[in-house]
Amino acid sequence: MSSHEIDAIRALLTSKPRPVGWAERRQRLDEVGSLWPVADDVRLETVDLGGVPGEWSIAPGSAPSRVLMFFHGGGYCSGSILSHRRMVTEAGRAARMRTLAVGYRLAPEHPFPAAHEDAMTAWRYLRAQGLPAGNIVVGGDSAGGNLTITLINRLRALGEEQPAGAWLASPWTDLTMSGATLATKDAVDPLIHKGYLEELAAAYAPTSIDRRDPLISPLFANLRGFPPTLVQVGSAETLLDDAERFAAAAGAADVNVTLEIWPHMIHAWPLWNAKLFALPAPPPNQRLLHLRFLVASLGAFLRNFEVHGVALPGHDLGELGFGEAFHLS
C-alpha cells in the first residue's frame, strides 16, 4: 500500500527544524496549519465566549441547532483557531453541524487549570444560547482531545448534562508518558517525541501536580457513564498507545466507543486535510489513506446516535470500506 499522500505532509513538516521559543512555535503552527484556506462556501463569525475567543463556522446544509465544539491541539502550549480552522470547518461539513472553535489560554503563560476554565466557560456560553446538551458534540485533537475528555468528566462530576458524544483525534491522554509506542514509534513519527512531550507537560502542569491526576491524564479517569466516543489515531504516531489504552479503558467501562487506527497516518493528520484533499484520489484498496474518508467516518459516527429524537446525518461506512475500525463494547 502506497503512503504517497502522507509522505507529502511529512516532507512539509520536516522542511524546517522545530523553533525553540514558544512564540516562534506558535507562529510556525499557525503558518503550516493555515497554508490551505477555508473553503469559499463556509461562513465564519468571530464570537466572544464570555472572555474566551471563539469562532463559529457553518457550511451549506448544516443544521444551526447542532454544534461541534472543538478544542485545538498543540500540547497546551501552541495551536489556535487559525491553525485548525480548515480541520474544524471540514469536520463541521461532514457532520452537517455548526462548529464552535475555542481559543483557550496557553501555557506556560497560563498553566493548568487555565485551559480547563476556558473550556467550561465556552460550554456555559453554548448552554446559555439555549442549546440542549444533547445537541452538542465536543471534540479535539492531541491536547484538545485531552481537554475534551476532562471537560466531559468535570460535567459528570458536577452531575450536569453531558454532550451527545466526543470526537478524539490523536488524543494525548497520558502526561506521565508511560505509553510503549513513545519508544516503538519514535523513528516513524516526524512530529511527536518523548523529550518534546516532557517539555510541554512541564510547561502545562506545575511540578506540584501529580500527572496521574485524571484532570491532567484522563487515561486514569473513571469513564463509566462517558458519552459515545470516536477515537481516531494514526498507526505511525508515538501517541498510538494513548489512544488505544483510552479506548480500551472506555470500553471496559461500558462506554460506546469506536477506535479507528489509520494505516501510515501521523500525529493529528486530519489537520492537513486540505493538502490531502488536493491530491488524486487513491484506488479503492488504498482509500483509507485519504482524508475525505476520514471526515465521512466522522459523519457516520455522529449519525449513530440521536439528538432529541433527530438522527444526525452521516455516511454509510460499509460503502467506504472501513474494515480497520475496532468497536469496543
Catalytic residues: 142, 237
Backbone angles phi, psi at 146, to 5 degrees: -60, -45
State the Cα–Cα distance between residues 126 and 300, nearest whole angstrom. 24
Q: How far is CA 244 from the centre of its chain?
A: 15
Percent of residues in the chain assigned helix, strand, coil, to nearest 5? 40, 20, 45
State the Cα–Cα distance between residues 317 and 327, nearest whole angstrom. 13
Cβ contact 198:177 at 8 Å = yes
Closest to 270 measured CA to CA, from 24, 49, 95: 95
Question: How many C-beta atoms lie closer than 10 Å to residue 3's C-beta?
Answer: 15
> How many angstroms separate the most distant Cα atoms in the chain?
52
Question: How many C-beta atoms lie closer than 10 Å to residue 224's C-beta?
Answer: 11
Cβ contact 226:254 at 8 Å = no
Bridge partners of 234, per DSSP, are 262
Closest to 102 measured CA to CA, from 50, 61, 153: 50
Report whether the peptide linkage leading into residue 108 is cis, meaning its omega lies within 30 degrees of zero: yes
Cβ contact 161:134 at 8 Å = yes
State the Cα–Cα distance between residues 143 and 204, nearest whole angstrom. 11
Cβ contact 209:112 at 8 Å = yes
Bridge partners of 176, per DSSP, are none
